[in-house]
Homo-oligomer: A and B are copies of this chain.
Amino acid sequence: MTLAGRSLTRIADLSDEEIRSILDRASEYAAAPRDRMDELRGRIVAAAFFEPSTRTRLSFETAAHRLGARVIGFADGGSTSSVKGESLEDTTRVLAGYGDLLVLRHPEQGAAARAAAVSDVPVVNAGDGAGEHPTQTLLDLYTMRDNLGDLEGVRVAVMGDLRYGRTVHSLVPALHRLGADVVAVPAPGLGLPDDVAGHGGGVDEVPLGEAAASCDVLYVTRVQRERMSRQESAGGSGHLVVDGDLLRRSGSRAIVMHPLPRVDEISVDVDSLPSAKYFEQARNAVPVRMSVLSHILGASP
């Protein structure tokens, strides 16, 4: 019934109550981020990034520092013992001997669960390949709740690469659990996998204009070019772009979110609109990750 000392590898590991507790405490941190330097004083967070992710790594490190913890780690697996043939399990056991909590980013699905199984200290999954990235989901939920209040009945359109985008796969079930409605605006050929689409009340596909007109949230994701068909890539006819013109024409009242980095799927003319929330969303990574670290490390298990 408590997160203290527990690993966080999947969003499904959290009860609804635990999700709300994390978001609530994040609100407190967001209101006064600089008063917490004694909360995790003397604790060490080990950030083990076997693939680069500057945004995730730096926001976790910022969260640790704002709570007074210290940080060790690496930003890229290329210079670690794994290149000498060491197993993830061995590396995990060693790092667990240094830090009080392990933040793990790894290219292989299931890596976080494997690490948590052998680690003496809690493991927080910061993305494991096509698997999960639970704190990204939490900061997405936080941003929606912070802007829209309770998520019951809120209507969210997920857009872009819904087939391969790990972010969306974790977000959709979480939104359903909290009572939100979800529709999909997939890039051509990149619709939600059946197991995600069939979750909860199901996810209908709608055209972009209709989503903009009817939703409270447009959650845009980047389409990796190599995953588009040759025609798409060449003609661009199916490339989804959210721009100021679309939002005006559709009379949209939606907030616009994006896990970043974006390339061109949100036009820069949206940046100055009040509905643009993606940089705020990025900033929310800090209080939300502070809250996760605090819940896990704050009280002794």
Interface residues of A (CB under 8 A from B): 34, 37, 41-44, 46, 52, 54-55, 58-59, 61-62, 65-66, 70, 72-76, 79-81, 84-86, 90-91, 93-95, 97-99, 222, 260-263, 279-280, 282-283, 285-286
User: When the two chains form their complex, are residues B66 and A52 in contact, meaning their CB atoms are under 8 A apart?
Assistant: no
Q: Which residues of B contact A44 (CB under 8 A)?
A: 62, 65-66
Q: Which residues of B contact A97 (CB under 8 A)?
A: 279-280, 282-283, 285-286
Q: Which residues of B contact A222 (CB under 8 A)?
A: 84
User: When the two chains form their complex, are residues A85 and B263 in contact, meaning their CB atoms are under 8 A apart?
Assistant: yes
Which residue of chain B has its CB nearest to the CB of A76? B79
Copies of this chain present in the complex amount to 3
Partner of A70, one of B65, B85, B282: B65
Q: How far apart are the CA atoms of A75 and B48 in the complex, in Å?
A: 14
Which residue of chain B has its CB nearest to the CB of A81? B261
User: When the two chains form their complex, are residues B81 and A55 in contact, meaning their CB atoms are under 8 A apart?
Assistant: yes
Q: Which residues of B contact A46 (CB under 8 A)?
A: 58
Which residue of chain B has its CB nearest to the CB of A58? B72
Nearest chain B CB to A93 CB, angstrom units: 5
Q: How far apart are the CA atoms of A222 and B73 in the complex, in Å?
A: 24
Nearest chain B CB to A35 CB, angstrom units: 8
Nearest chain B CB to A148 CB, angstrom units: 20
User: When the two chains form their complex, are residues A72 and B76 in contact, meaning their CB atoms are under 8 A apart?
Assistant: no
Known contacts A65-B44, A260-B81; A58/B98 CB under 8 A: yes
Q: How far apart are the CA atoms of A223 and B260 in the complex, in Å?
A: 41
Which residue of chain B has its CB nearest to the CB of A65? B70
Q: How far apart are the CA atoms of A150 and B37 in the complex, in Å?
A: 42
User: When the two chains form their complex, are residues B261 and A98 in contact, meaning their CB atoms are under 8 A apart?
Assistant: no
The 6 A-B pairs of least Cβ separation, nearest first, read A97-B283, A52-B79, A86-B261, A65-B70, A81-B261, A62-B98
Q: Which residues of B contact A75 (CB under 8 A)?
A: 74, 79
Q: Which residues of B contact A285 (CB under 8 A)?
A: 97-98
CB pairs A–B below 8 angstroms (30 shown): A34-B43, A44-B65, A44-B66, A46-B58, A52-B79, A52-B80, A54-B79, A58-B72, A58-B73, A58-B74, A59-B98, A62-B98, A62-B99, A65-B70, A74-B75, A75-B79, A84-B263, A85-B261, A85-B263, A86-B260, A86-B261, A86-B262, A90-B262, A93-B279, A94-B279, A94-B282, A97-B279, A97-B282, A97-B283, A97-B286
